């Protein structure tokens, strides 16, 4: 990642954290943390890891046209990817898990990255569905609720982006030969001669990774699996809420889940610092939760989402680390520069 992009992410995180924490009585935030019933984190973490298992099943399902890999084998790779996303900027964990899958199962990186991108598009569509499902609730919130006040407009443009991307992938999957001809035409017209053959090979492998979308039934299965995943994650929000002295509806937590995860697509410091916390605190405050209580809850929730999966991912990685030979380093360099092989 270019150095200026890293510093831009850190700057955005710092600004959002400042906006989220300014004016708070920090002693009240500390009181909310001291008075929390942390036993509720146990079922929250359990239901979260159930969601990670379902994610592993979804990825196994999407990779079936390329290679049949059991969900049990996919689970460690998915957790390693989460670890990478949590400690490196720019969601580098997605590249990490694709490269590890290449090393362990010999699945081409460009093909597995295609499935990862499709996963993220479906996740975005579900997050937007959570927001749109609760637009009535959102309209009741105060107009001066900062970040939350403009979320309807953000959701509208987000819907255009994610649904547009989903349609492009669906059409590319259903009409691979036509898509390849269009891509090859663009390659011949816009790329220098030395890059044409390799880029065409990469695009062919990428289109192979979209085969799981070739029938409406397959696409619906991936969508409904994505809904289950995010409902399970909202279940974690619900369990952690019971550790604190406030209560909002499950639908409000669905809305929070949708907003904070859409916000984490913004560049930030590693671990989504600020981009997760600021909108979460703002939303709960708009629902009438005392800001200090909302801050304590959001910080604990963020830590409970970050720490367990990062530790487990590190454990799985250390059990069978990547073999950092010249081939693997070259693959990551090419992938990071937009040339996945």
Separation between Cα atoms, residue 165 and residue 172, nearest integer Å: 11
- Structure confidence by residue, pLDDT tens digits, 177-232: 999 999 999 999 899 988 888 899 889 889 998 988 888 899 999 999 999 999 99
Going from N- to C-terminal start, the domains of the chain cover 37-336
Three-state DSSP class for residue 89: coil
Arithmetic mean of pLDDT, 230-248: 97
Report the interhelical angle of 193-208 vs 109-133 (nearest 10°).
Answer: 60
Q: Which pLDDT band holds residue 309 (cuts at 50, 70, 90)?
A: very high
Assess whether pLDDT exceeds 50 at residue 112.
yes
Assess whether pLDDT exceeds 60 at residue 297.
yes
Using CA atoms, how far residue 134 sits from 138, 139, 258, 281, in Å, is: 6, 9, 10, 18
Assess whether pLDDT exceeds 70 at residue 338.
no
Q: What phi-psi label fits residue 196: left (phi over 0), alpha (psi between -120 and 50 degrees) or beta?
A: alpha
Separation between Cα atoms, residue 131 and residue 163, nearest integer Å: 14
Q: What is the pTM of this model?
A: 0.88
Question: What's residue 147's pLDDT?
Answer: 58
Using CA atoms, how far residue 135 sits from 79, 210, 254, 340, in Å, is: 33, 32, 11, 39
């Amino acid at each position: 990642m270019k150095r200026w992009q890293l510093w831009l992410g850190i700057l955005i995180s710092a600004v959002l954290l400042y906006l989220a924490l300014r004016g708070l009585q920090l002693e009240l935030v500390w009181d909310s943390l001291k008075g929390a019933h942390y036993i509720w984190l146990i079922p929250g973490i359990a239901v979260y890891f159930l969601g990670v298992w379902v994610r592993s099943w979804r990825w196994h399902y999407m990779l079936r046209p390329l290679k049949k890999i059991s969900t049990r084998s996919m689970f460690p790779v998915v957790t390693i990817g989460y670890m990478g996303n949590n400690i490196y900027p720019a969601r580098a964990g997605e590249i990490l898990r694709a490269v590890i899958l290449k090393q362990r199962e010999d699945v081409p990186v460009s093909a597995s990255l295609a499935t990862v991108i499709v996963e993220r598009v479906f996740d975005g569509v579900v997050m937007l569905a959570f927001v749109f499902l609760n637009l009535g609730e959102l309209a009741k919130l105060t107009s001066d609720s900062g970040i939350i006040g403009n979320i309807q407009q953000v959701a509208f443009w987000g819907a255009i982006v994610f649904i547009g991307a989903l349609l492009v992938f669906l059409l590319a999957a259903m009409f691979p030969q036509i898509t390849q001809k269009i891509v090859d035409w663009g390659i011949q017209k816009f790329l220098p001669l030395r890059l044409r053959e390799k880029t065409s090979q990469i695009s062919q492998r990428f289109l192979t990774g979209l085969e799981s979308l070739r029938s409406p039934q397959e696409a619906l299965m991936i969508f409904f699996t994505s809904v289950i995943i995010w409902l399970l994650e909202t279940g974690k929000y619900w369990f952690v809420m019971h550790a604190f002295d406030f209560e909002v509806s499950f639908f409000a937590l669905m809305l929070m889940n949708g907003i904070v995860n859409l916000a984490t697509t913004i560049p930030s410091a590693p671990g989504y610092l600020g981009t997760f916390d600021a909108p979460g605190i703002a939303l709960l405050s708009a629902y009438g939760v005392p800001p200090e209580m909302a801050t304590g809850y959001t910080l604990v929730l963020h830590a409970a989402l970050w720490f367990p999966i990062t530790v487990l991912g590190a454990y799985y990685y250390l059990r069978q680390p990547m073999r950092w030979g010249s081939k693997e380093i070259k693959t990551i360099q090419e992938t990071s520069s937009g040339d996945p092989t």
